[in-house]
């Protein structure tokens, strides 16, 4: 591929282009963005923040200018790891306050890998500072945050890509093209989405002193301040609704977004949900261990089910979705897909793409989701191309908002015990003033909740 020549401004015209690119030699990806060095900042240097940054560094010339974390230990570790990957060997500037990072550095791109309760303010502040943003999913913890983020992206005319990388997962792009769009499923009227991972932290750690290396006040930010009972990183903060939206906001958002993308769906017409803490009742966690939610579209129901206990009904698909048509069924997950025809036809199976030989450094990276690395690289490549072409990326902030808000609304439906119909044009739940009030939660001072009309 040494003589590979391509007009990068006219290549990524569709999701299928991302699939084609995944089959190219790694050098082609480098050539696509060889003419520009991107000045990058990272806010949140924990597990997935670093993972997203390292995937970006693999596909484009990058100068990691500055990084930020409220945990000094994570910050120092990230600085060392990044310097080893930078061609310059440079250690990025290190900050404990993201606002100072944005004020003191001119950045092309800001990656946001902080917990969910920080995504909104950090995205909007980065956009105001002139940067394009790659923000992890879910984009927000309440619906009005998402509305404000969309408004900010449009006002400041910047590109925002959401880390819903199923849209760039090679085998799922292929499934959309060769199974769904080719009509092999026939008329589609039902989708099942699910997660049966035992991922809910049900422990009871004691209260303790905040360690010197952690700015817990800043970590908490606009969220309610819980008594400190250990490092919140990774699985512990996700056990609390104060910082996110439970398994629904963490895992359903991926599958619902993938289904919406593959089937070209917009907002659900109505949402209802039941569930609660039924089995894992001994820990501090306040997120549901069992939940079912139904998202209704025109002539289509999409049903979500999660249990953080018990066995999975299908060991091959513990987390994924199954699309049912009158001509067959398509099962999809981050690891594979399987098409089963309704009659005598040919079954089709495809595994996830792995790129260990192209990117041997993946095999040595701590905690990497190696099956998702190719998808994230393609998501990053699509992000940079969208910036250059001034077009919406595959997981544009509005798409991320629809998927995120739908999951938040499912939780609100479970809380109120009512079916909810959200109208994005009025930003209200139709005929339900109480539920409308729940679309925006109260921020802890001095942080101020943004409003989409006052960005």
CB of 393 closer than 8 Å to CB of 161: yes
pLDDT of residue 6: 32
Sign of CA dihedral 374, 88, 46, 405: negative
Domains of the chain: 8-168+365-396 (3.40.50.720), 170-201+213-221+229-356+401-454 (3.30.360.10)
Nearest-10 crossing angle of helices 373-389, 15-22: 130
Q: Please name the residues in contact with 359: beta carbons below 8 A apart, sequence gap of 6 or more.
A: 26, 58, 373
- Chain position carrying tokens 């000094």: 72
User: What 3-state DSSP class applies to 319?
Assistant: strand
Return the HEC string of 217-238.
Answer: HHHHCCCCCCCCCCCCCCCCHH
- Give the pLDDT score at 235: 87
Q: Which of 417, 447, 424, 410 is nearest to 144 (CA)?
A: 424
pLDDT of residue 237: 98
Burial of 216 (0-12, 13-18, 19+ CB in 10 A): middle
Residue from 10, 3, 21, 92 nearest 380 by CA: 21
47-59 and 373-389 helices cross at what angle (nearest 10)? 60
Q: Where on the phi/psi map is residue 431: left (φ > 0), alpha (ψ -120 to 50), or beta?
A: left
Q: Would you state the pLDDT for residue 74?
A: 98
Mean pLDDT by runs of 10 across the 455 residues of the chain is 34 40 45 75 96 98 98 98 96 98 98 98 98 98 98 98 98 98 98 98 97 98 98 95 98 98 98 98 98 98 98 97 98 98 94 95 93 97 97 98 98 98 98 98 97 96
Q: Cis bond leading into 138, ω under 30°?
A: yes
Residue 289 tokens read as 């261990």
Beta carbons within 10 angstroms of residue 364's beta carbon: 7
pLDDT of res. 151: 98
**pLDDT for res 34:** 54
Q: For residues 422 and 419, give the distance between their C-alpha atoms in angstroms, rounded to a whole number.
A: 10
User: How far, in whole angstroms, is CA 437 from its chain's centroid?
Assistant: 26
By DSSP bridging, strand 132-135 and strand 109-112 are: parallel
pTM: 0.93
């Amino acid at each position: 591929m040494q003589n590979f020549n391509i007009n990068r401004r006219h290549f990524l015209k569709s999701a299928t282009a991302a699939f084609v690119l995944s089959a190219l030699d790694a050098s082609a990806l480098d050539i696509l963005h060889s003419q520009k060095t991107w000045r990058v900042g990272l806010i949140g240097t924990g597990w997935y923040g670093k993972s997203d940054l390292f995937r970006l560094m693999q596909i484009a010339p990058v100068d990691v200018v500055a990084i930020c974390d409220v945990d000094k230990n994570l910050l120092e570790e990230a600085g060392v790891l990044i310097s080893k990957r930078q061609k310059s060997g440079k250690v990025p500037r290190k900050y404990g306050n993201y606002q100072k990072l944005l004020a003191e550095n001119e950045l092309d791109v800001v990656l946001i890998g902080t917990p969910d309760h920080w995504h909104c303010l950090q995205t909007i502040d980065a956009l105001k500072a002139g940067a394009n943003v790659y923000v992890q999913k879910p984009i927000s913890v309440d619906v009005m945050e998402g509305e404000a983020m969309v408004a900010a992206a449009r006002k400041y005319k910047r590109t925002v890509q959401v880390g819903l990388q199923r849209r760039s997962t090679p085998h799922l792009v292929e499934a959309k093209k060769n199974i769904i769009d080719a009509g092999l499923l026939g008329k589609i009227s039902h989708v099942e989405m699910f997660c049966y991972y035992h991922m809910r932290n049900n422990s009871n750690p004691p209260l303790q002193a905040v360690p010197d290396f952690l700015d817990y006040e800043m970590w908490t930010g606009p969220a309610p301040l819980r008594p400190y009972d250990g490092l919140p990183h990774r699985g512990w903060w996700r056990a609390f609704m104060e910082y996110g939206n439970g398994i629904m906001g963490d895992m359903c958002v991926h599958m619902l977004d993938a289904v919406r993308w593959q089937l070209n769906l917009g907002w659900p017409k109505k949402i209802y949900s039941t569930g609660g803490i039924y089995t894992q009742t001994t820990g501090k966690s306040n997120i549901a261990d069992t939940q079912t939610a139904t998202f209704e579209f025109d002539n289509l129901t999409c049903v979500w089910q999660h249990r953080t206990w018990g066995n999975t009904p299908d060991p091959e698909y513990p987390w994924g979705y199954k699309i049912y048509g009158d001509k067959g069924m398509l099962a999809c997950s981050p690891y594979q897909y399987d098409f089963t025809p309704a009659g005598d036809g040919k079954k089709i199976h495809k595994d996830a793409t792995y790129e260990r030989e192209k990117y041997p450094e993946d095999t040595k990276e701590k905690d990497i989701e190696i099956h998702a690395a190719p998808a994230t690289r393609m998501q990053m490549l699509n992000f940079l191309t969208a910036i250059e072409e001034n077009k919406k990326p595959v997981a544009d902030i509005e798409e991320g908002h629809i998927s995120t808000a739908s999951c938040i609304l499912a939780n609100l439906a479970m809380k109120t015990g009512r079916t909810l119909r959200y109208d994005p044009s009025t930003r209200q739940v139709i005929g339900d003033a109480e539920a409308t009030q729940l679309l925006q939660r109260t921020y802890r001072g001095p942080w101020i909740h943004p409003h989409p009309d006052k960005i």
